[in-house]
Amino acid sequence: MLSGQLSSTTAIRIHVSDVNDNRPILNDFILLVDLFEDEVPVTQIGMIPALMYTIKEIMLNGKMT
């Protein structure tokens, strides 16, 4: 950080809405991202790791796409 610059940190909670019958499996994790003041509003700032299928579903259905 350059001298004279301000910074701040915060914790946010993300709610994931499920839109089909395969709910995502989210493990506990910490996601650290940097967001700058001049970012464009639609800028991707991070990705949340999630599994879409369990091992049981993969074995029963035979494939994962």
pLDDT one-digit tens code per residue, 3-54: 677 788 888 777 767 666 766 667 677 777 777 778 787 777 777 766 666 6
Domain ranges in the chain? 19-65
Q: How far apart are CA 57 and CA 61, in angstroms?
A: 6
What is the pTM assigned to this prediction? 0.37
